[in-house]
Amino acid sequence: MGVLGGAGVRQRRRALGVLGLVVCMSTVVAGVVDVTIVSKYQFFDESDATQVYCYYTGSYSNQNGYQFGVEVNTGSGTTFPRARGTSKVSGEWWSVNIHSNAGDFRVGAFSCLVSDGSQTEKAITFKMKSQADVWPVAFTVTASLGDPVTLQMVQKSSRTGTLMWRKDGSILSGQNGLSLTIASVQSSDEGIYECYYQGDTDRKQGIMRLIVRGCAADKWGPLSCTGDCPVCYNGGVCDDNTGECVCPPGFHGQKCESACANNKIGTSCTRECDGGDCRGKLLCVMDPYGCSCAPGFMGIECNTGEYS
What is the DSSP secondary-structure string of 123-160? EEEEEEETT-SEEES-SEEEEETT--EEEEEEE-SS--
Q: Give bridge partners of residue 167 from the DSSP assignment.
A: 170, 193
Residues 23 and 93 in one domain: yes
How many other C-beta atoms can be found within 10 angstroms of the C-beta atom of residue 233?
A: 17
Q: Domain check: are 140 and 56 in the same one?
A: no
Once rounded to an integer, what is the mean pLDDT over residues 255-273? 88
24 and 125 belong to one structural domain: yes
- Residues 65, 38 share a domain: yes
Q: Quick check: is 164 in a domain?
A: yes
Among the listed residues 266, 261, 305, 300, the one whose alpha carbon sits nearest the alpha carbon of residue 286? 266
Q: Assess if residue 292 is contained within a domain.
A: no
Residue with the bigger pLDDT between 258 and 77: it is: 258
How many Cα atoms occupy the beta-carbon half-sphere of 308 within 13 Å?
14
pLDDT, tens digit (0-9, with 9 covering 90-100), for 281-290: 999 999 999 9
Do 123 and 195 have their domain in common? no
Does the pLDDT at position 13 exceed 60?
Answer: no
Considering the domain architecture, whether residues 6 and 124 belong to the same structural domain is answered as: yes
CA 308 to chain centre: 23
Dump pLDDT digits (tens) for 122-147. Answer: 999 999 999 999 999 999 999 999 99
Q: Which of 179, 213, 247 is the last residue of a domain?
A: 213
Radius of gyration of the chain measured on its C-alpha atoms: 18
| Total count of domains within the chain | 2
- Judge if 37 and 100 occupy the same domain: yes
Instruction: pLDDT band for 18, please (50, 70, 90 cuts).
Output: very low
147 and 178 share a domain? yes
Q: Are residues 117 and 25 in the same domain?
A: yes
In a domain, 87, yes or no: yes
Same domain, 35 and 117: yes
Nearest partner of 71 among 198, 177, 209, 205, judged by Cα: 209
Domain boundary among 129, 147, 169: 129
Distances (CA, A) of 70 to 20, 27, 110, 274, 291: 6, 24, 5, 22, 17
101 belongs to a structural domain: yes
pLDDT exceeds 80 at position 195: yes
Mark which of 213, 243, 270 sits at the end of a domain.
213
Mark whether 122 and 141 lie in a shared domain: no
CATH number, domain containing residue 92: 2.60.40.10
**CA atoms of 294 and 303, how far apart (whole Å):** 10
Smallest CA-to-CA distance from 286 within 35, 31, 29, 15 is with: 35
Q: Which residues pair with 234 in a beta bridge?
A: none
Q: What integer best gives the mean pLDDT of the chain?
A: 85
Secondary structure class of 109 (helix, strand, coil) = strand
Distance CA 239, CA 247 (A): 10
| pLDDT for 2 beyond 50 | no
Tell whether the model's pLDDT for residue 263 goes beyond 90: no
Q: Which of 56, 195, 193 is nearest to 112 (CA)?
A: 56
Residue 270 maps to a domain: no
- The residue among 121, 80, 122, 124 whose CA lies nearest residue 102 is 80
Q: Which range is least confidently modeled, 161-165, 235-239, 292-296, 304-308? A: 304-308
Asked, for residue 245, whether it belongs to a domain, the answer is no
How open is the CA angle 79-9-149, to the nearest 5 degrees? Answer: 135
Q: Is residue 157 part of a domain?
A: yes
The three-state secondary structure class of 165 is strand
- The pLDDT value recorded for residue 59 is 57
**% of the chain surpassing 70 pLDDT:** 84
My answer on whether 9 and 106 are in the same domain is yes
Position 112 in a domain = yes
Least confident of 2-6, 148-152, 253-257, 266-270: 2-6
Give the span between the Cα atoms of 63 and 31, in whole angstroms.
9
Q: Which domain holds residue 177?
A: 134-213
Residues 229-241, mean pLDDT to the nearest whole number: 97
Q: What is the pLDDT of residues 45-56, one digit of tens each?
A: 999 999 999 987
Hey, CA dihedral for 234, 235, 238, 242, is it positive or negative? negative
B/e letters for 5-14, b = 16+ CB within 10 Å, e = fewer, are eebbbbbbee
